[in-house]
């Protein structure tokens, strides 16, 4: 991991050898260096606020970090006896009420199998995986606007997307050319799919173009309002798309999470409007950067680089950084019931106008009445990480695989549980996250029941990988008739766990959103933007001119 920005943190020294911070009063105190916190720090600093940004860990990123693989297990199942109250739990201190701050366990049910190939430290794992950026999405814009793009390098997910369909990996046709080349599609399927793409393209062009003098949009080229409100799946059927093509569009392009064919209308059906929006983003992503193939890019060295990049931007604008500095308690104004500061683990009290904390802390006022009783109704996401020896798509380094809901229809027992899609992102050594010759993959699926979610993840792994022989050697007992191309990659190591997702909250104590079940950061950044607007309604969120002067020269290149 690269070193963080210049900070007041004492990088060496004993755990309790905390530095003293001067000044003792800030506009904003932020605890935790996850992506939303880091973006907020950069935005506040850019808006001219004084910012103190602390993190209990010795590294940046909190729940959004990338960590060396050997530290993963301890990270996922932290010591239950968290020493959160190292500072004296004084009931009152001067005019403030002191409220103890506790961390909650975000991860559960971690389960690993296999042995990590040595050198294990060469594997860097994301806690937010599988995740990518659309070349044209908000995260990329923010990086360019803030100047954070100078601190991160991206590579494209050049292998494109694959859909797991009828037991095979099917390359997702997403353009005129890929539809043409595809040999599995029937002629009429090709026609229907490309016609649908053309329709969407015309719709996007017609609706995004500035209205001409007459102020009218070409009605013929657009999709009617009535159709936009239809469930997307219905619209696709109306367009004559076959079941397989519907699955392609719904799950591999529009990235729908839940079963859109489900008879139960309570599940999340995406509307045509939403679907079209994602396709618009997808198609504007393709070709945005000359050197990026496909729509998706992934940061070299892992997603942990992103919060760090924003922290650097914040530091450049004057934010003060202190790592290895837990917040022990919050200070509350007794009369107004407002949070007015934080007591650091060093015992020092810092006063501030606005407090922002990492979602891994329990928010005192909100958590007390509910405590853990509602844990079952919480949104959850089951995640998996695996290491294997061969690319899932020959000739490609990085690929995305989507398992539509009910992908393993043969297993009736599981079918009911597979109401959500599973996404898998394969990464190779060209992203510096694993040693050459090895591949990593992240999987995730949203769930309400953790064990069911884990089952789906395992099922997806079983579908793609062959298990390692019990003696630990790689499978070389395949029948000779099988060509090596047909052999499934061998799973060397895997880990499956469940993460809960708590929403960000606003108020005098802001809590940022947790990594969600999505493939991208769109929703997280949207909430982050809202949080900023709540604190500083009159300030611009990372305005364009907040970036260093040389921002533009990189705008057509990922690297």
Partner 1 sequence: MHGRPRRPTKPVDEEAASAKAAKLRDLQVQVLQNHQSRTYTKEAIGLSFKLLEINPEAYTAWNYRKLALKHKIKELSDPEAIRSAVDDELRVVEVALRQNPKSYGAWYHRKWLLNQKLAPVDFKRELGLLDKLLKVDARNFHGWNYRRFLARFMGVPDEEELKYTMDKICDNFSNYSAWHNRSILLSNLLIQQSKGFESKQKIFSEEFELVTQALFTDPSDQSGWFYHLWLLAQTSTPENPQLIASWPCNGAKLSFSLAKEKVEQSTVSSIWCHSLKERTVPIVLYFNEPVKGLNQSSVKLKSDLEFGKDIHWRALSVTDSGYSNCWATYLQIANECSSSQQYSVDVGIPCSDDIVSRSGSTYNCPVHLTFTIELISNGTQNIDLFDKPVAWNCSESFQTHGNCEPMPFDLLKITSALVEEDSNWHFERLSEEIDLFRQLPDDDSKFVKLTLARLLIACAAIKSRGRSLIERKRYCEEALGYFSDLIHLDPSHKQYYEDERSLVLMDKLTCDMETFMKHCSVQVQPNSVPLNHVQLCRLSLTRIGFAERLIWVQVLDLSHNSLRSVEGLEALQQLVSLNISNNQISSFTALEPLMKIISLKVLDLSFNKIGAHSIDTTRYICSSPFSHKDEACEAFEECRKKNINVEEYWDAILLFKSLKLAQLDIKGNAVPNKENFRTLVMILIPSLKWFNGECVN
Nearer to partner 1, 126 or 189 (CB): 189
Query: CB under 8 A: which stretch of 185-193, 389-397, 447-455, 459-467 binds partner 1?
Result: 185-193
Among positions 190, 273, 338, 488, the unique one binding partner 1 when judged by CB under 8 A: 190
Tell whether residue 188 is a contact of partner 1 (CB under 8 A).
yes
In angstroms, the CA 524 to CA 530 distance is 10
Shortest CB 34 distance to partner 1, Å: 42
Query: CB under 8 A: which stretch of 136-144, 191-199, 403-411, 535-543 binds partner 1?
Result: 191-199
In angstroms, the CA 72 to CA 495 distance is 9
Tell whether residue 194 is a contact of partner 1 (CB under 8 A).
yes
The tokens describing 415, both together, are: 């079918």
Tell whether residue 220 is a contact of partner 1 (CB under 8 A).
no
Nearer to partner 1, 177 or 481 (CB): 177
Nearer to partner 1, 188 or 366 (CB): 188
Shortest CB 189 distance to partner 1, Å: 9
Shortest CB 195 distance to partner 1, Å: 8
Number of chain positions touching partner 1 (CB under 8 A): 13
Q: Are 161 and 400 in contact (CB under 8 A)?
A: yes
φ, ψ of residue 148 to 5 degrees: the values are -60, -20
Nearer to partner 1, 180 or 370 (CB): 180
The C-alpha angle 120, 385, 173, rounded to 5 degrees, equals 125
Tell whether residue 288 is a contact of partner 1 (CB under 8 A).
no
Query: CB under 8 A: which stretch of 187-195, 228-236, 315-323, 338-346 binds partner 1?
Result: 187-195
Tell whether residue 187 is a contact of partner 1 (CB under 8 A).
yes
What is the footprint of partner 1 within residues 195-214 (CB under 8 A)? 198
Nearer to partner 1, 198 or 409 (CB): 198
Nearer to partner 1, 182 or 234 (CB): 182
Strand pairing class (92-93; 66-68) = unpaired
In angstroms, the CA 295 to CA 289 distance is 9
Q: Are 296 and 160 in contact (CB under 8 A)?
A: no
Q: Are 53 and 8 in contact (CB under 8 A)?
A: no
Strand pairing class (491-501; 379-388) = antiparallel
What is the footprint of partner 1 within residues 237-256 (CB under 8 A)? 240
Nearer to partner 1, 73 or 181 (CB): 181
Please compute Rg for the chain using Cα positions: 24
Tell whether residue 191 is a contact of partner 1 (CB under 8 A).
yes
Tell whether residue 114 is a contact of partner 1 (CB under 8 A).
no
In angstroms, the CA 361 to CA 355 distance is 13
Q: Are 509 and 403 in contact (CB under 8 A)?
A: no
Nearer to partner 1, 107 or 194 (CB): 194
Write the binding mask 154 to 183 for partner 1: x where contact by CB under 8 A, - elsewhere.
----------------------xx-xxx--
The sheet carrying 168-171 orders its strands as 107-114, 491-501, 379-388, 439-447, 422-428, 399-403, 161-165, 168-171
In angstroms, the CA 76 to CA 517 distance is 17
Nearer to partner 1, 121 or 176 (CB): 176
Q: 398: exposed, middle or buried (C-beta count within 10 Å: 0-12, 13-18, 19+)?
A: buried
**Nearest Cα to 345, choosing from 52, 48, 54, 51?**
54
Residues contributing to the site for partner 1 (CB under 8 A): 176-177, 179-181, 187-188, 190-192, 194, 198, 240
């Amino acid at each position: 991991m690269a070193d963080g920005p210049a900070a007041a943190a004492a990088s060496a020294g004993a755990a309790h050898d905390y530095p003293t911070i001067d000044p003792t009063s800030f506009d904003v105190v932020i605890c935790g260096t996850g992506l939303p916190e880091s973006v907020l720090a950069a935005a506040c600093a850019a808006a001219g606020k004084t910012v103190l940004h602390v993190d209990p860990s010795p590294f940046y990123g909190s729940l959004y970090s990338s960590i060396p693989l050997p530290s993963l297990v301890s990270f996922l199942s932290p010591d239950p006896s968290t020493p959160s109250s190292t500072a004296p739990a004084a009931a009152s201190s001067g005019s403030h009420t002191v409220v103890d701050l506790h961390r909650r366990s975000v991860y559960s049910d971690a389960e690993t199998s296999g042995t990590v190939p040595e050198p294990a430290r060469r594997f860097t794992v994301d806690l937010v995986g599988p995740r990518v950026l659309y070349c044209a999405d908000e995260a990329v814009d923010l990086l360019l606007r803030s100047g954070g793009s100078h601190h991160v390098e991206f590579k494209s997910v050049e292998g494109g997307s694959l859909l797991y369909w009828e037991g095979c990996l099917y390359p997702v046709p997403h353009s005129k050319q890929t539809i043409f080349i595809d040999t599995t599609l029937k002629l009429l399927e090709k026609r229907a799919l490309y016609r649908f793409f053309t329709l969407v393209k015309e719709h996007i062009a017609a609706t995004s173009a500035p209205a001409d003098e007459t102020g009218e949009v070409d009605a013929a080229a657009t999709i009617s309002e009535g159709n936009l409100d239809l469930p997307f799946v219905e619209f696709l059927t109306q367009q004559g798309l076959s079941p397989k093509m519907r699955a392609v569009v719904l799950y591999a392009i529009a990235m729908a999470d839940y079963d859109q064919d489900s008879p139960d209308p309570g599940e999340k059906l995406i509307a045509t409007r939403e679907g079209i929006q994602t396709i618009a983003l997808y198609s504007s992503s393709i070709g945005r950067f000359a050197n990026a193939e496909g729509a998706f890019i992934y940061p070299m060295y892992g997603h942990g680089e992103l919060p760090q990049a924003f922290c650097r931007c914040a530091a450049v604008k004057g934010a003060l950084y202190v790592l290895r500095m837990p917040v022990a308690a919050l200070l509350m104004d007794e009369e107004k019931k407002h949070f007015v500061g934080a007591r650091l683990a060093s015992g020092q009290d810092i006063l501030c106008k606005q407090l922002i904390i990492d979602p891994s802390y329990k928010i005192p006022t909100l958590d007390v009445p509910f405590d853990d009783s509602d844990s079952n109704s919480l949104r959850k996401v089951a995640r998996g990480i695996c290491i294997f020896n061969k690319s899932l798509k020959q000739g490609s380094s990085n690929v995305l695989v989507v398992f539509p809901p009910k992908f393993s229809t043969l297993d009736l027992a599981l079918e009911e549980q597979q109401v959500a899609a599973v996404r898998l992102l394969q990464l190779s050594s060209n992203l510096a996250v694993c040693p050459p010759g090895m591949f990593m993959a992240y999987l995730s699926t949203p769930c309400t029941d953790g064990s069911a979610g884990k089952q789906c993840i395992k099922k997806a792994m079983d579908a793609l990988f062959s298990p390692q022989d019990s003696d630990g050697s790689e499978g070389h007992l395949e029948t000779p008739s099988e060509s090596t191309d047909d052999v499934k990659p061998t799973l060397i190591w895997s880990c499956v766990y469940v993460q809960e997702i708590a929403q960000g909250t606003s108020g005098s104590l802001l809590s940022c959103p947790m990594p969600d079940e999505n493939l991208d950061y769109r929703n997280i950044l949207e909430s982050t933007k809202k949080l900023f607007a709540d604190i500083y309604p009159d300030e611009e969120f990372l305005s364009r001119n907040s970036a260093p002067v040389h921002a533009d020269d990189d705008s057509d290149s990922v690297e």
